[in-house]
Structure 1
Protein backbone atom coordinates (compact mmCIF):
# COMPACT_ATOMS: atom_id res chain seq x y z
CA UNK A 1 0.00 0.00 0.00
CA UNK A 2 1.04 3.56 -0.58
CA UNK A 3 1.93 5.64 2.48
CA UNK A 4 -1.03 7.98 1.98
CA UNK A 5 -3.40 5.00 1.88
CA UNK A 6 -1.88 3.62 5.08
CA UNK A 7 -2.27 7.04 6.74
CA UNK A 8 -5.90 7.21 5.66
CA UNK A 9 -6.44 3.69 7.04
CA UNK A 10 -4.86 4.85 10.34
CA UNK A 11 -7.25 7.81 10.49
CA UNK A 12 -10.21 5.50 9.85
CA UNK A 13 -9.02 3.12 12.58
CA UNK A 14 -8.64 6.02 15.01
CA UNK A 15 -12.20 7.12 14.36
CA UNK A 16 -13.42 3.54 14.81
CA UNK A 17 -11.58 3.26 18.12
CA UNK A 18 -13.14 6.51 19.30
CA UNK A 19 -16.69 5.47 18.46
CA UNK A 20 -16.22 1.92 19.78
CA UNK A 21 -14.83 3.20 23.06
CA UNK A 22 -18.09 5.02 23.75
CA UNK A 23 -19.89 1.67 24.00
CA UNK A 24 -17.43 -0.22 26.20
CA UNK A 25 -18.76 -2.11 29.18
CA UNK A 26 -15.56 -3.52 30.63
CA UNK A 27 -12.30 -1.71 31.36
CA UNK A 28 -13.67 1.69 30.41
CA UNK A 29 -10.71 3.56 31.88
CA UNK A 30 -8.16 1.57 29.91
CA UNK A 31 -10.15 1.98 26.69
CA UNK A 32 -10.47 5.69 27.39
CA UNK A 33 -6.69 5.94 27.83
CA UNK A 34 -6.22 4.33 24.41
CA UNK A 35 -8.68 6.83 22.95
CA UNK A 36 -6.76 9.74 24.50
CA UNK A 37 -3.57 8.57 22.78
CA UNK A 38 -5.44 8.27 19.49
CA UNK A 39 -7.12 11.68 19.84
CA UNK A 40 -3.77 13.43 20.25
CA UNK A 41 -2.45 12.10 16.93
CA UNK A 42 -5.66 12.28 14.89
CA UNK A 43 -5.64 16.04 14.06
CA UNK A 44 -2.01 15.92 12.96
CA UNK A 45 -2.57 13.07 10.53
CA UNK A 46 -5.79 14.56 9.19
CA UNK A 47 -4.08 17.88 8.52
CA UNK A 48 -1.15 16.20 6.78
CA UNK A 49 -3.56 14.27 4.57
CA UNK A 50 -5.69 17.34 3.81
CA UNK A 51 -2.62 19.31 2.73
CA UNK A 52 -1.77 16.46 0.35
CA UNK A 53 1.84 17.08 1.24
CA UNK A 54 4.17 15.19 -1.13
CA UNK A 55 6.82 14.98 1.60
CA UNK A 56 4.68 12.48 3.46
CA UNK A 57 5.40 9.82 0.83
CA UNK A 58 8.86 10.76 -0.41
CA UNK A 59 10.91 10.56 2.78
CA UNK A 60 12.45 7.13 3.42
CA UNK A 61 11.19 5.38 6.51
CA UNK A 62 7.58 6.49 6.18
CA UNK A 63 6.31 3.01 5.41
CA UNK A 64 7.81 1.48 8.55
CA UNK A 65 6.44 4.22 10.78
CA UNK A 66 2.88 4.13 9.49
CA UNK A 67 2.70 0.36 8.97
CA UNK A 68 3.71 -0.15 12.60
CA UNK A 69 1.14 2.43 13.69
CA UNK A 70 -1.55 0.75 11.61
CA UNK A 71 -0.77 -2.64 13.17
CA UNK A 72 -1.05 -1.19 16.69
CA UNK A 73 -4.28 0.59 15.83
CA UNK A 74 -5.78 -2.64 14.48
CA UNK A 75 -4.82 -4.44 17.70
CA UNK A 76 -6.26 -1.59 19.77
CA UNK A 77 -9.54 -1.65 17.85
CA UNK A 78 -9.81 -5.41 18.31
CA UNK A 79 -9.29 -5.21 22.07
CA UNK A 80 -11.68 -2.24 22.46
CA UNK A 81 -14.33 -4.16 20.53
CA UNK A 82 -13.72 -7.13 22.83
CA UNK A 83 -14.28 -4.85 25.83
CA UNK A 84 -17.57 -3.71 24.27
CA UNK A 85 -18.82 -7.29 24.26
CA UNK A 86 -17.56 -8.32 27.72
CA UNK A 87 -19.91 -8.71 30.65
CA UNK A 88 -19.09 -9.13 34.33
CA UNK A 89 -19.00 -12.91 34.07
CA UNK A 90 -16.63 -12.68 31.08
CA UNK A 91 -14.29 -10.54 33.17
CA UNK A 92 -14.20 -13.21 35.87
CA UNK A 93 -13.42 -15.96 33.37
CA UNK A 94 -10.83 -13.79 31.63
CA UNK A 95 -8.72 -13.53 34.84
CA UNK A 96 -7.21 -10.17 33.88
CA UNK A 97 -5.76 -11.16 30.50
CA UNK A 98 -7.69 -8.46 28.68
CA UNK A 99 -6.54 -5.86 31.19
CA UNK A 100 -2.91 -6.88 30.62
CA UNK A 101 -3.40 -6.70 26.85
CA UNK A 102 -5.02 -3.27 27.19
CA UNK A 103 -2.06 -1.99 29.19
CA UNK A 104 0.44 -3.44 26.74
CA UNK A 105 -1.43 -2.09 23.71
CA UNK A 106 -1.79 1.34 25.32
CA UNK A 107 1.97 1.55 25.88
CA UNK A 108 2.82 0.28 22.40
CA UNK A 109 0.28 2.58 20.80
CA UNK A 110 1.68 5.54 22.73
CA UNK A 111 5.19 4.81 21.44
CA UNK A 112 4.02 4.28 17.85
CA UNK A 113 1.81 7.37 17.86
CA UNK A 114 4.63 9.50 19.28
CA UNK A 115 6.92 8.15 16.56
CA UNK A 116 4.34 8.94 13.86
CA UNK A 117 3.69 12.39 15.35
CA UNK A 118 7.39 13.28 15.37
CA UNK A 119 7.80 11.96 11.83
CA UNK A 120 4.81 13.96 10.57
CA UNK A 121 5.97 17.15 12.30
CA UNK A 122 9.45 16.74 10.85
CA UNK A 123 8.35 15.91 7.31
CA UNK A 124 5.30 18.12 6.82
CA UNK A 125 4.84 20.66 9.60
CA UNK A 126 1.46 22.37 9.81
CA UNK A 127 1.12 25.71 8.07
CA UNK A 128 -0.17 27.49 11.17
CA UNK A 129 2.97 26.80 13.22
CA UNK A 130 5.31 29.58 12.22
CA UNK A 131 7.90 30.87 14.58
CA UNK A 132 7.01 34.37 15.69
CA UNK A 133 9.55 36.80 17.15
CA UNK A 134 7.67 36.86 20.46
CA UNK A 135 7.69 33.09 20.80
CA UNK A 136 10.91 31.32 21.66
CA UNK A 137 9.40 27.84 21.39
CA UNK A 138 8.26 28.09 17.78
CA UNK A 139 4.62 27.88 18.76
CA UNK A 140 2.29 30.73 17.87
CA UNK A 141 0.83 32.63 20.72
CA UNK A 142 -2.82 33.49 21.16
CA UNK A 143 -3.98 36.78 19.68
CA UNK A 144 -4.43 38.48 23.05
CA UNK A 145 -0.95 37.66 24.32
CA UNK A 146 0.70 38.46 20.98
CA UNK A 147 -1.02 41.86 20.91
CA UNK A 148 0.03 42.69 24.44
CA UNK A 149 3.57 41.44 23.87
CA UNK A 150 3.37 38.93 26.70
CA UNK A 151 3.27 35.19 26.59
CA UNK A 152 0.83 34.46 29.40
CA UNK A 153 -1.56 32.35 27.33
CA UNK A 154 -0.30 29.94 24.70
CA UNK A 155 -2.28 27.85 22.33
CA UNK A 156 -2.11 24.19 23.32
CA UNK A 157 -1.17 21.65 20.70
CA UNK A 158 -1.41 17.88 20.62
CA UNK A 159 2.22 17.47 21.69
CA UNK A 160 1.71 19.41 24.93
CA UNK A 161 1.59 17.06 27.86
Structure 2
Protein backbone atom coordinates (compact mmCIF):
# COMPACT_ATOMS: atom_id res chain seq x y z
CA UNK A 1 0.00 0.00 0.00
CA UNK A 2 1.33 3.41 -0.87
CA UNK A 3 2.50 5.76 1.84
CA UNK A 4 -0.09 8.36 0.84
CA UNK A 5 -2.91 5.84 1.25
CA UNK A 6 -1.71 5.13 4.80
CA UNK A 7 -1.87 8.84 5.57
CA UNK A 8 -5.49 8.93 4.44
CA UNK A 9 -6.40 5.78 6.37
CA UNK A 10 -4.70 7.19 9.46
CA UNK A 11 -6.61 10.47 9.23
CA UNK A 12 -9.89 8.62 8.69
CA UNK A 13 -9.27 6.24 11.60
CA UNK A 14 -8.31 9.07 13.94
CA UNK A 15 -11.37 11.04 12.90
CA UNK A 16 -13.67 8.06 13.56
CA UNK A 17 -12.06 7.51 16.99
CA UNK A 18 -12.58 11.17 17.94
CA UNK A 19 -16.16 11.03 16.60
CA UNK A 20 -16.96 8.02 18.80
CA UNK A 21 -15.26 9.68 21.80
CA UNK A 22 -17.34 12.79 21.11
CA UNK A 23 -20.49 10.67 21.26
CA UNK A 24 -19.44 8.83 24.42
CA UNK A 25 -18.37 11.92 26.37
CA UNK A 26 -20.52 14.86 27.47
CA UNK A 27 -20.57 17.92 25.21
CA UNK A 28 -21.81 20.26 27.93
CA UNK A 29 -22.13 20.37 31.67
CA UNK A 30 -24.38 22.52 33.74
CA UNK A 31 -24.76 23.53 37.32
CA UNK A 32 -27.04 25.75 39.26
CA UNK A 33 -25.76 29.08 40.47
CA UNK A 34 -25.54 27.63 43.97
CA UNK A 35 -23.05 24.95 42.85
CA UNK A 36 -25.61 22.16 42.55
CA UNK A 37 -24.43 20.01 39.66
CA UNK A 38 -26.89 18.88 37.01
CA UNK A 39 -26.50 15.88 34.68
CA UNK A 40 -24.06 16.36 31.80
CA UNK A 41 -25.44 16.80 28.29
CA UNK A 42 -24.45 14.29 25.61
CA UNK A 43 -25.07 14.77 21.91
CA UNK A 44 -27.35 11.75 21.72
CA UNK A 45 -29.24 12.75 24.89
CA UNK A 46 -29.80 16.25 23.51
CA UNK A 47 -31.36 14.73 20.38
CA UNK A 48 -33.57 12.57 22.61
CA UNK A 49 -34.49 15.60 24.74
CA UNK A 50 -35.60 17.62 21.72
CA UNK A 51 -37.61 14.63 20.52
CA UNK A 52 -39.21 14.08 23.95
CA UNK A 53 -40.15 17.76 24.23
CA UNK A 54 -41.99 17.59 20.93
CA UNK A 55 -39.36 19.56 19.04
CA UNK A 56 -39.06 16.86 16.38
CA UNK A 57 -37.78 19.13 13.65
CA UNK A 58 -34.74 20.26 15.65
CA UNK A 59 -34.14 16.71 16.89
CA UNK A 60 -34.35 15.37 13.35
CA UNK A 61 -31.97 18.05 12.05
CA UNK A 62 -29.43 17.23 14.76
CA UNK A 63 -29.77 13.51 14.07
CA UNK A 64 -29.34 13.96 10.35
CA UNK A 65 -26.52 16.49 10.30
CA UNK A 66 -24.47 15.49 13.35
CA UNK A 67 -24.84 11.70 13.19
CA UNK A 68 -26.15 10.28 9.92
CA UNK A 69 -24.37 12.51 7.39
CA UNK A 70 -21.01 12.23 9.17
CA UNK A 71 -21.32 8.44 9.19
CA UNK A 72 -22.14 8.56 5.48
CA UNK A 73 -19.11 10.78 4.95
CA UNK A 74 -16.84 8.38 6.86
CA UNK A 75 -18.01 5.53 4.66
CA UNK A 76 -17.73 7.54 1.48
CA UNK A 77 -14.21 8.78 2.21
CA UNK A 78 -13.11 5.27 3.22
CA UNK A 79 -14.51 3.90 -0.02
CA UNK A 80 -12.70 6.60 -2.02
CA UNK A 81 -9.45 5.74 -0.23
CA UNK A 82 -9.77 2.03 -0.92
CA UNK A 83 -11.11 2.34 -4.48
CA UNK A 84 -9.61 5.49 -6.00
CA UNK A 85 -10.17 4.23 -9.54
CA UNK A 86 -13.89 4.68 -8.92
CA UNK A 87 -13.34 8.44 -9.05
CA UNK A 88 -15.82 10.00 -11.43
CA UNK A 89 -17.53 13.34 -11.78
CA UNK A 90 -20.59 12.05 -9.92
CA UNK A 91 -18.64 10.82 -6.87
CA UNK A 92 -16.56 13.96 -6.74
CA UNK A 93 -19.72 16.10 -6.84
CA UNK A 94 -21.31 13.93 -4.15
CA UNK A 95 -18.28 14.40 -1.91
CA UNK A 96 -18.56 18.16 -2.32
CA UNK A 97 -22.23 18.11 -1.30
CA UNK A 98 -21.59 15.91 1.73
CA UNK A 99 -18.66 18.11 2.73
CA UNK A 100 -20.87 21.17 2.76
CA UNK A 101 -23.59 19.65 4.89
CA UNK A 102 -21.92 17.24 7.31
CA UNK A 103 -21.24 18.31 10.87
CA UNK A 104 -19.39 21.56 11.34
CA UNK A 105 -21.95 24.32 10.90
CA UNK A 106 -24.79 22.33 12.36
CA UNK A 107 -22.76 21.14 15.34
CA UNK A 108 -21.79 24.70 16.23
CA UNK A 109 -25.40 25.81 15.90
CA UNK A 110 -26.53 22.82 17.98
CA UNK A 111 -24.14 23.67 20.79
CA UNK A 112 -25.32 27.28 20.75
CA UNK A 113 -29.00 26.23 20.76
CA UNK A 114 -28.47 23.82 23.64
CA UNK A 115 -26.37 26.39 25.51
CA UNK A 116 -28.96 29.13 25.06
CA UNK A 117 -31.78 26.77 25.93
CA UNK A 118 -30.21 25.79 29.25
CA UNK A 119 -28.19 28.90 30.15
CA UNK A 120 -29.69 31.54 32.40
CA UNK A 121 -28.80 33.61 35.41
CA UNK A 122 -29.35 30.58 37.63
CA UNK A 123 -28.05 27.77 35.39
CA UNK A 124 -24.43 27.95 34.24
CA UNK A 125 -23.26 25.77 31.35
CA UNK A 126 -19.75 24.83 30.26
CA UNK A 127 -18.31 22.90 27.33
CA UNK A 128 -16.98 19.43 28.11
CA UNK A 129 -14.52 16.98 26.53
CA UNK A 130 -17.06 15.56 24.07
CA UNK A 131 -17.13 18.93 22.31
CA UNK A 132 -13.35 18.88 21.94
CA UNK A 133 -13.37 15.33 20.57
CA UNK A 134 -16.19 16.11 18.18
CA UNK A 135 -14.45 19.24 16.86
CA UNK A 136 -11.19 17.27 16.46
CA UNK A 137 -13.11 14.69 14.42
CA UNK A 138 -14.62 17.41 12.26
CA UNK A 139 -11.26 19.07 11.59
CA UNK A 140 -9.55 15.76 10.76
CA UNK A 141 -12.40 14.80 8.45
CA UNK A 142 -12.22 18.16 6.68
CA UNK A 143 -8.45 17.78 6.34
CA UNK A 144 -8.87 14.26 4.93
CA UNK A 145 -11.51 15.44 2.49
CA UNK A 146 -9.31 18.32 1.32
CA UNK A 147 -6.26 16.04 1.00
CA UNK A 148 -8.28 13.37 -0.82
CA UNK A 149 -9.63 15.83 -3.38
CA UNK A 150 -6.47 17.83 -3.79
CA UNK A 151 -3.72 15.25 -3.83
CA UNK A 152 -4.67 11.62 -3.53
CA UNK A 153 -7.43 11.17 -6.11
CA UNK A 154 -5.65 13.35 -8.67
CA UNK A 155 -2.52 11.23 -8.28
CA UNK A 156 -4.54 8.04 -8.87
CA UNK A 157 -6.06 9.15 -12.18
CA UNK A 158 -3.79 8.29 -15.13
CA UNK A 159 -2.93 11.27 -17.34
Shorter-chain-normalised TM-score: which range? Answer: 0.3 to 0.5
Larger RCO, structure (CA 8 Å, separation 6 or more): 2
Larger strand percent: 2
Q: TM-score, normalised by structure 2?
A: 0.41
Larger helix percent: 2
